Amino acid sequence: MEKEYDQMREEMERLMTESVKDFPRIDHLVDQLEMLQLAIKEKHGIKGNNPNE
């Protein structure tokens, strides 16, 4: 999971440096990264994005 997250993050960062932005792809990656981040956190016993939970 973490490797997949790192790969998507690298792709998003690369896309953000392009002179012509592929915003639909960037938006898709942001959504996918959020879902993956939540899955990684849940694997470690953390639910949601609230740091107080």
pLDDT tens for residues 11-34? 999 999 999 999 999 999 999 999
Q: What is the domain count for the chain?
A: 1
Q: For residue 23, is it within any domain?
A: yes
- Written as one letter, the residue type at 9 is R
Mean pLDDT of 30-45: 89
Report if residue 31 sits inside a domain.
yes
Domain assignment present for 51: no
Residue 48 lies in a domain: no
Length of the chain equals: 53
Residue 47 confidence (pLDDT): 78
Share of the chain above pLDDT 90, in %: 62
Q: What is the pLDDT of residue 51?
A: 62
What residue spans of 1-53 are helical by DSSP H? 2-17, 23-43
